[in-house]
Amino acid sequence: MLAGDVCDQAGRRDCPRRVLERTRKGKRDDPATRRRRHPRVLHSPVKHLLVAALVALAVAAPAAGQTAPTTPVYDARGNLIGTPFVPEPAQPLLTEDQAIERALANGKVADWVERYPDRTLTKQAELDEDTKVWTVRVWSSLPDAGQVVLAKIDDTSGAVTEAWTGPQVAWKMARGYDGAFGRKINNPWIWLSLCAVFFLGLADLRRPLAIRNLDLLVLLSFGISLFFFNRGEVFRAMPLVYPPLLYLLGRMAWIGWKGRGSPSRALWPVWVLLAATVFLSGFRFGLNVRASNVIDVGLAGVIGAQRIVGDGESPYGNMPTDEGKECGPADSDGYVRERIQTNGRCEVANGRGDTYGPVSYLAYVPGYLTMGYEYKWDDLPAAHFTSLLWDGLALLGLGLLGLRFGGPRLGATLAFAWAAYPFTQYVSSSNSNDAIMPAFLIWGLVFVTSHPARGVFLGLAAWTKFAAFLLFPLWASYPKATRWPRAQLLFLGGFVLATAMAFWILLLEPDPLHAAREFWDRTFGWQLARSSPFSIWDWDEYPGYPDLHILQTVLKGLLIAAAGVLAFVPRTRNVVQLAALSGALLIGFELVLTHWFYLYIPWFFPFVAFALLVPASVRVAQGEAAAEEPAGERPVEELVPAR
């Protein structure tokens, strides 16, 4: 019998001690004794614990090779026998009040919120459980104020990762995102290199104080405003646009009155200008293909071309919207742009893409037919194709314009000016539609002596961008304001032909009259009432800025009056005057425009370049139809076309 059993039978408390003493007295080394001591029996509590552990292991063993359920588990009879384990979400480190407090402590946010009475403010913070980021919003009840702050707070660090105020809340393009327009063209090395080439190639370096050099510097000074825009400083960027616009307006008005170009000339020989133009053209092509982006304007053009050619319908009122079922990934803000449309396709939405003239969409048809369209906002090769096409047509047109009215030197100079000017590349790298209108107008100047051709090109330009309508009285009365009515009727016939070429797309709709009303509502109706922070005219909704709408309205009236007066004054005008006054009208339009942008600079640039760079020494001679004039009339002065 083992010692443990003896003790159990005796039931005495001191039994273990006596057994231990007996062992110590000499029986520990006896092998027989050692054999009798094994196996050893455990006490009952320990025995029970061991049995329970073995049972638990036996039960757990079959489940060891199984994964935890991720969905509810049911037996054969449909009874719920298992549910997935859902861990309790981690609690946020910040409270809603703390997130709001941190946002309002940000210097930029605090400075902006101080402009609003505290009683008008409503504040809200919302946590994204997945990203652990707080979104803080602040609204004001003041008229037209709406949301005035949007901030992002990291819950882990408590840092303010984004802070948008004023126009930056509603307008992402006002936030200064890196390369949002044009990507690599905004690189300082590329931009400043183009500026240097433009200035050195066209400046009169023998006379540093020549007015020509000042003209070139003013044309480049728009880059100062763009610098602040790219930093998201809209209230600093926009006012800097108006000094160069006013200067160029004055210069165009002066040249339009005098009818003479620049007394200076560039130092580079013609072959250097041509070689530089070829090199710059290749560089521009590569920059567009490899390091540019397509903004929503280019996307709208491709969609419009697809609607016309692919679906056989007018773009107006048929653009894809974001009202259908989501069918694509969300962006960083959680917005899903790709939606199921009424035609059943999954398309990227661009609901306000039908605000341009019909020629703007027809101009994208060659690109669409060549490159296609996948209904997504991807690289959009059709938009790149179109941008390069019209950029090239503008460059070629300027070269021929200069060649016709000033010979090889002026032709090479104007082509170089377009190729080197950074804002023309800004349009190309953004792949927008803003080179189409000036390209048509350039070719209108090339064929300026043909009244019907001049009317056709002006009509195509006007039905691309409506600003060109301001040129109608001026171009209709070229070259003599008193030549009525044959020349004007020929010009009007060309304009009507262009209108027919543009608006046949309305006949694609079952009800052309309804389509015409839709066109008006989606274009003129929307643009005339459009608000925008990208000028000084619509800042009255922001505290601290004046209401300039009355002044803007007065200036609009003066602009329209000036466009009408230029149909009669000056009575005779040569092509230099026509270009200069056209540039003046387009600059005046941009001065009073509520929504202005840097992409609009190439609208007037060809006219400004021609008027500023044409040599004053170019001969003038009698116009092509002077023999028909009555005796006593002053002969029409016209630049002599190069032979």
- pLDDT tens figures, 7-47: 444 344 444 444 334 434 444 444 444 444 444 444 455 55
Of 4-8, 201-205, 447-451, the range with the lowest mean pLDDT is 4-8
Question: String of b and e for 252-283 (b: at least 16 CB within 10 Å)?
Answer: bbebbeebbbbebbbebebeebbebbeebbeb
Sign of CA dihedral 254, 258, 261, 264: negative
Give the CATH number of the domain where residue 144 resides.
Answer: 3.10.450.40
pLDDT at residue 91, rounded to an integer: 75
- 347: tokens are 């398309």
Confidence of residue 634 (pLDDT cuts 50, 70, 90): very low
Measured CA to CA in angstroms, residue 456 lies from 143, 444, 459, 494 at distances of 46, 8, 5, 4
What are the φ and ψ backbone dihedral angles of 55, each rounded to 5 degrees?
-65, -40
In a domain? residue 188: yes
Distance CA(526)–CA(13), nearest Å, equals: 102
In a domain? residue 559: yes
In a domain? residue 371: no
Q: Is the pLDDT of residue 628 over 50?
A: no
Answer yes or no: do 275 and 328 share one domain.
no
Determine contact, residues 287/639, Cβ cutoff 8 Å: no
Of 48-62, 295-309, 394-408, 535-549, the range with the lowest mean pLDDT is 48-62
Answer yes or no: do 151 and 261 share one domain.
no
Answer yes or no: do 195 and 144 share one domain.
no
Answer yes or no: do 135 and 262 share one domain.
no
Answer yes or no: do 197 and 226 share one domain.
yes
Instruction: Tell which wins on pLDDT, 633 or 108.
Output: 108
Answer yes or no: do 326 and 412 share one domain.
no
**Helix, strand, or coil (residue 258):** helix
DSSP secondary structure letter of residue 336 = B
Confidence of residue 643 (pLDDT cuts 50, 70, 90): very low
Answer yes or no: do 200 and 153 share one domain.
no
Q: Is the pLDDT of residue 106 over 80?
A: yes
Burial of 110 (0-12, 13-18, 19+ CB in 10 A): middle
Compute the average pLDDT of residues 239-244. Answer: 98
Answer yes or no: do 383 and 473 share one domain.
yes
Answer yes or no: do 483 and 620 share one domain.
yes
In a domain? residue 299: no
Q: Is the pLDDT of residue 301 over 50?
A: yes
Task: Find the domain containing 128 and state its range.
Answer: 96-165
Distance CA(221)–CA(241), nearest Å, equals: 9
Round the average pLDDT of the chain to a whole number and report it: 87
In a domain? residue 359: no
The pLDDT > 90 percentage for the chain reads 75
Compute the average pLDDT of residues 534-562. Answer: 96
DSSP secondary structure letter of residue 134 = E
Measured CA to CA in angstroms, residue 292 lies from 13, 171, 190, 226, 546 at distances of 94, 21, 13, 17, 37
Answer yes or no: do 253 and 188 share one domain.
yes
pLDDT at residue 331, rounded to an integer: 86
Instruction: Tell which wins on pLDDT, 46 or 415.
Output: 415
Q: Is the pLDDT of residue 440 over 80?
A: yes
In a domain? residue 372: no
Half-sphere exposure of 42 (CA within 13 A, CB side): 8
Q: How many domains in the chain?
A: 4
Of 239, 217, 242, 237, nearest to 226 (Cα)?
A: 237
Compute the average pLDDT of residues 402-419. Answer: 96
Please give the angle made by the CA atoms of 537, 539 and 542, to the nearest 5 degrees.
170
pLDDT at residue 152, rounded to an integer: 95
Compute the average pLDDT of residues 144-153. Answer: 94
Distance CA(405)–CA(265), nearest Å, equals: 16
Answer yes or no: do 388 and 275 share one domain.
yes
In a domain? residue 300: no
Of 80-84, 213-217, 279-283, the range with the lowest mean pLDDT is 80-84
- 132: tokens are 């652990």
Answer yes or no: do 387 and 335 share one domain.
no
In a domain? residue 534: yes
**Helix, strand, or coil (residue 185):** helix
**Helix, strand, or coil (residue 153):** strand
Summarised one tens digit per residue, pLDDT across range 192-211 is 999 999 999 999 999 999 99
Classify 406 in phi/psi space as left (phi over 0), alpha (psi -120 to 50) or beta.
alpha
Instruction: Describe the chain by its helix, strand, coil percentages, rounded to 5.
Output: 55, 10, 35
